């Protein structure tokens, strides 16, 4: 028996906002359960705004030298809340992260995110995107989302947090 999740007055216009029950629960709309927002066909203009990771609606961009090394510059304008890209890496056990600590300490860099259902990277004063963990069709995945409107040609900045230049930052959200 299939249960429809999206039975309230949720439409594609409210998906990706706090009026969407899926968005509030830190998950993307399910194409099998969220029928009113048409998450299954959300690649069309005006479709569900809370299913971008599963439909791979990444933004186009180019990599150039920047003030901070190599930078990612958008080739198109984006709206606040739009998915820029998915953060993809190896899914590793906690024991493996401990073996990588000496390398992170030596290089004084740490790029690992600890997966859980509500983790959010804190965007600093310069950041224009944030990382959010979303439950997508039963899997935890990390999306990089715009925190404000960003124009074409603008560089994307993600704040990795205060411990990025030190050692691994453990974040546990309960």
Beta strands in 88-159 (DSSP E): 129-136, 139-146
CB 109 within 8 A of CB 86: no
**Residue 99 belongs to what H/E stretch?**
helix 94-107
Q: Which CATH class is domain 56-174?
A: mainly beta
**CATH 2.170.270.10 intervals, the chain:** 56-174
What is the three-class DSSP state of 102?
A: helix
Mean pLDDT, all residues of the chain: 75
At 73-83, the pLDDT tens digits run 999 999 999 99
User: Of 81, 89, 59, nearest to 154 (Cα)?
Assistant: 59
Question: Using one digit for the tens of pLDDT, what is the confidence trace for 89-125?
Answer: 777 666 666 666 665 555 555 555 555 444 444 344 5
- pLDDT tens readout for residues 38-90: 788 766 666 788 899 998 989 999 999 988 788 899 999 999 999 999 988 77
pTM (2 d.p.): 0.72
CA torsion through residues 159, 162, 167, 171, sign: negative
């Amino acid at each position: 028996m299939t249960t429809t999740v999206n039975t309230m007055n949720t439409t594609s216009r409210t998906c990706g906002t706090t009026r969407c029950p899926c968005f509030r629960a830190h998950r993307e709309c399910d194409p099998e359960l969220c029928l009113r927002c048409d998450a299954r066909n959300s690649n069309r203009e005006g479709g569900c705004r809370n299913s971008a990771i599963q439909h791979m609606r990444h933004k186009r961009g180019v990599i150039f030298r920047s003030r901070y090394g190599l930078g990612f510059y958008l080739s198109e304008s984006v709206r606040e809340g739009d998915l820029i890209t998915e953060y993809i890496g190896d899914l590793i056990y906690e024991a493996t992260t401990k073996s990588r600590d000496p390398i992170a300490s030596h290089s004084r860099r740490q790029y690992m995110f600890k997966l859980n259902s509500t983790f959010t990277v804190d965007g600093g004063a310069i950041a224009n995107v944030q990382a959010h963990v979303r439950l997508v069709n039963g899997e935890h995945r990390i999306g990089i989302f715009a925190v404000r409107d960003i124009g074409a040609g603008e560089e994307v900045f993600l704040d990795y947090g205060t411990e990025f230049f030190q050692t691994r930052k453990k974040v546990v959200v309960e």
